[in-house]
Each structure stands twice: as structure tokens, then as C-alpha cells.
Chains A and B, each alone.
Chain A
Amino acid sequence: MQGEYIIKQISIFSENKPGRLAAIAEALEKSHVNIFAFSIAEANSFGVVRALVDKPDDARSVLEKLGFAVQFTDVIAVRMKDEPGGLHAVAQILGDAGINIEYAYAYSGKEAAVLILRVSQAGEAISKIQAAGGSLLRESDLG
């Protein structure tokens, strides 16, 4: 089952204005949403905040109520081997399969570092990584 390894990321479009990021964090905290992983990509006056949280639907509705533009994005999470070259190995597997990595970010999970990947074909990426012996996380494994 590949589907169980697809994780719902919330993506928030935000202008680079003072207080915007704080407002997102505060809103999530108030509604008891835990943030597992978090990344920001920015260009001049705007940016995209990406987060993995324990309750994506709650997070989305609370942020939308505050006027934020929120989307769900499918990402996959790879357990990184605690040895040099782990990231390179994943990139190699996907590259060989012709799968583009749109972006990636990492966080330190319970047991090992976790690499979050946004790829052009998530299903395909999952089978390639598994076939190469890689270990993927389910939504329930996050934290």
C-alpha cells in the first residue's frame, strides 16, 4: 500500500510581513495543533510556510478562519540512515527513476532524522525508495 505513506502537508502562502509567521504559530498552538516539521521558502515579499502537523484538518480550518490561504500538499517522509550519504542516496534513487524533487526539508524525528520530500510523482517515489531498501514513515509515525 503506497497510499499510507503519503502525508498531508499544510502549505500556507504568506506575505513577508512582520508578525505573519508568529500569527500562524500562535493560531496552531491555541487550537492545540502540534507541529512536527516546519519550513519556510521565501522570495522577496512573499513566502510559503510548509508544516507537518498532527491535525492537518483542524490546522487548515483555524488558519483559513484567520484569512490565510492554505492548501494540502502530498509529501513523503524518509527515515534517514544515521550515516553520511543518506540524502545523496535518496536523491540518487529518485534521480535514476526520473522523479523530480521539488523541495525537501528535514526534522529530527523520534528515532532518526526524517527527510520530507515533495516530489513530482509521490506513488512512484514510494515504490522506488522501498525497492531500494529505504524506510518510509506513515502519518501516524510522525512526531
Chain B
Amino acid sequence: MHSWDPRIEEMPGAELEKIQYRHLKTLVYRLYSFSDFYHARMKEAKVHPDDIKTLADIRLLPFMYKSDLRDNYPDKLFCAPQNELVRYHVSSGTTGKPTVVGYTQKDIDLWTTSLARGLTSCGIGKGDVIQVSYGYGLFTGGLGLHYGAERIGATVLPTSVGNTERQIELMQDLKATAIACTPSYLIHIGEAADRMGVSIQKDTLLRSAIIGAEPWSETMRTRIYETMGVRAYDIYGTSEISGPMFSECSEQKGIHIWGDIAIPEIIDPDTGESLPPGEHGELVMTVLQKEALPIIRYRIGDLTQILDEPCPCGRTHPRIQRISGRVDDMLIIRGINVFPSAVEHAILSIPELSGHFMIEVDRKGSLDDMLVRVEMAPEALSDKINDLINIKRNVEHTLKNALNVAVQVELSEPGSLPRFEGKAKRVIDRRVF
């Protein structure tokens, strides 16, 4: 086994816990003193930094929610002044306002270090050519993996998403050995290569794939290996904790969460009570050394469990299992998080619509296809087809802006979409992962 930082990655568990405790204590003192938000939250929860006497006392600290980020848009939770920030990333929120994450240089360094360890643990390193086919830009995937790959001395081919035929040509010509992208895009690349008469297995040097930002399964892992000869490794992270940050090692048996960087907990999503390793529940993350946007006990909303037994690779840091689902109704469309509440918010802002809608998600080929059916307000009906086409375009445009992902829109007759009493079930997801 080759590790990026063997001293940290293979340190005895007890020693790691000491480091975690020290970081946690520092973090809590710092935020209690310098963050109005955390100060108020801790007061409310009647907990003082002095009450944190062991690592397990993390459970005394209050939770942080996605709504906290929305309510404090864009940067009210930041604990570093703007002139200390070196980057912003932006992801879509639950309603109207997006989530903005700021990074200091140290934040970027830690994120990059985390990825350097992860990539190395998958057997990738200097000499590899990594095609980064995650989106570059406000989304964290592209730039995150880009810096991680450069850190380990690999050669980055920053193709971003799209123009798949060109991606396949470059993969061949520049001899890419690894790729980072969403699982559905990897399968899409495989299918496009087939159509071009290119065998990923025989005609390229691609041997590993770091895939995430979307649900996938062991079945997909097997399919990717059998059809493309590529070993796929799961990577996990959300923009709030920095971005895609933690990955599986070459054992492919769960995602290592570097303990000196973050503390994962599993709770019962209904009661908020902590659950022991091996029990399935909601993942709660604390990122220990984040400067610009500190994250304590953040309820990401993903469901998984902590794997207690040591990983055969010899790394001592805790692992979580592949994400099995969500506690809320968040959808992931081509790697982008989409909240039905954000769709609703956007639709309610359009006067020509009744406000009723349905979301239908399918896989077209290997890519996600999201259709939003919207209902016309009776007074907006027109005998002129162009008026209707303009309304449809406006809805498409408004949704694209709100969600950061293109969706199909269909206009429905007034009164034709289902009405719900109690909890609305507006999402029909026909995808199989």
C-alpha cells in the first residue's frame, strides 16, 4: 500500500482521537468567541466550550442545517473577512437563495490534501493522466478534483462535462489513465465510445474512475468494470464541507473520512439521537479546521452508516458506507442537487402558472432527464401559440437559473395536475441506480 501521508493515515486510533479532540476544542472555542451564529446557537443549547471534555461530548453541540446557510445568505456565517478568501463556490439551495461557500487558502489546502490522500489510496499518482470530467465553475467537482490531482503530481486533463466525442478522442490521444466524473457520465462515455467504435478497455489506457456526486451501486461498479475494464471508486462530499473530499481506497470497501479533517456521526433523523457504528441513519459532519465557513454537526441529509471494523488497507481512519439515500426529497440530476422546494419557489414566481407542478425524472440513455410539468393559470391562456411558447421558454429559463441544471418543461391544462391533501408527492423518479 502506498499512502500520501502514512504518518497520519496509519496512526493508531487512540492517537487520532487525541488530534480530533484537540481540533474540536480549538474549533469550538474559536467559534464561541468569534461567530455570532455559533455563539447564539451554543447559548441556546446551553453548552459552553468548557463542557467539551471528551471527543464524545461533540454530541452536546447543536446541529447546523441547510436552512441556516440559506437564512444567512450569502456570507453571514463566514468567519473570515473577504480579503482572506481565495475562492467562492455556489450550489443551489432549498428555495430561491443558493448556498455560497467561501474558502481561505488553508481551506483549499485542506480540501486538496484530503483529495491527495484519497487519490493516492486508489493507486493514482505521479505519472497518471487524470481526465477531470466534472463540471468546472461554481460547482465544486471540477476545480476540487483538479487541485487534488495536481497535488499528487498527476497530469490533469481538464475536460469538464460535455462534448463527449472529443473527450474520448483526448482520452485516447493523451493517454488518460484515470477519470473523475459522475457515474452516469462515465456510463455515457462508455456508450458513446461504443458508438464511435472505440473500446475503452482495448483502445484507451483508462483504468480507474473516481465517481460520485450522484447515487450509484455495486451493480454499476461491476458493470463499469465488465464493460470498460475500469475500476470505479466512490467519492463523497458536498459543497458545504468543501466539495468532493473523501474517497474509497483500493479496497473499495467504504469511504475513508480523514479523522484529522472531519468527524462523521450517524444520528436517527427523527430524534436526532446518536447511533452507534453499524447502524444506518443520517450523516452529520463536523469539519475540524475550516476557516471561512466553519461546519459543526451539519445535517447534510444523506443516509449511511459508519463502518467500525478496520479497513484491510491499514488506514485507521473511520469509513462510511456508500450513501444509500436522502432524508429529504432532494434529487440529484446529472450531479447537481435539486430540491423540489426550489422548483416550487421558482414556479410560484411565474404569474402565468397556477403553482401546481409535477417532477418526473428518467434516465435517457445513461443521463438524467428531468421533466417539470407546470399548469397554466386559466387567465394566462391564450389562443396565440406564440404566447404559450414564450411562457414555456420563460419557465425553462427561470428553472435553469434557479436550479443550475437544464430541465424539460411541459405546459398542462388548468386543473389537470394532481392536487394533494397533506404532504404533496410531486416527484416521480423512475431511475434505477
Chain B proximity of A52: nearest CB distance (Å): 12
Chain A proximity of B215: nearest CB distance (Å): 29
Q: Which of these binds chain A: B88-96, B289-297, B375-383?
A: B375-383
Q: Mark A60-71, 1 if CB is under 8 A from B, else 0.
A: 000000011101
Chain B residues, Cβ within 8 Å of A69: 376, 378, 381, 413-415
Chain B residues, Cβ within 8 Å of A73: 383
Chain A residues, Cβ within 8 Å of B410: 15, 44-46
Q: Are B385 and A14 in contact (CB under 8 A)?
A: no
**B166 lies within 8 A of chain A by Cβ:** no
Q: Are A48 and B415 in contact (CB under 8 A)?
A: no
Q: Are B384 and A14 in contact (CB under 8 A)?
A: no
Chain B proximity of A119: nearest CB distance (Å): 11
**B394 lies within 8 A of chain A by Cβ:** no
B residues in contact (CB < 8 Å) with A: 376, 378, 381-385, 388-389, 392, 410-416
Chain B residues, Cβ within 8 Å of A48: 382-385, 388
Chain A proximity of B381: nearest CB distance (Å): 5
With A67-B416, A69-B376, A69-B378 already in contact, the answer to whether A15 and B385 are too (CB < 8 A) is no
Q: Identify the closest chain B residue to A9 (Cβ).
A: B383
Q: How far is the CA of A47 from the CA of B410 in the complex (A)?
A: 11
**A43 lies within 8 A of chain B by Cβ:** yes
Q: Identify the closest chain A residue to B377 (Cβ).
A: A69
Q: Are A118 and B383 in contact (CB under 8 A)?
A: yes
**A38 lies within 8 A of chain B by Cβ:** no
**CB pairs A–B below 8 angstroms (5 shown):** A9-B383, A11-B382, A41-B385, A46-B388, A46-B412
Closest 9 CB pairs of A and B: A11-B383, A41-B385, A45-B410, A73-B383, A69-B414, A46-B411, A13-B381, A43-B389, A69-B381
**A96 lies within 8 A of chain B by Cβ:** no
Q: How far is the CA of A9 from the CA of B311 in the complex (A)?
A: 74
**A82 lies within 8 A of chain B by Cβ:** no
Q: Are A67 and B415 in contact (CB under 8 A)?
A: yes
Q: Are B412 and A15 in contact (CB under 8 A)?
A: yes
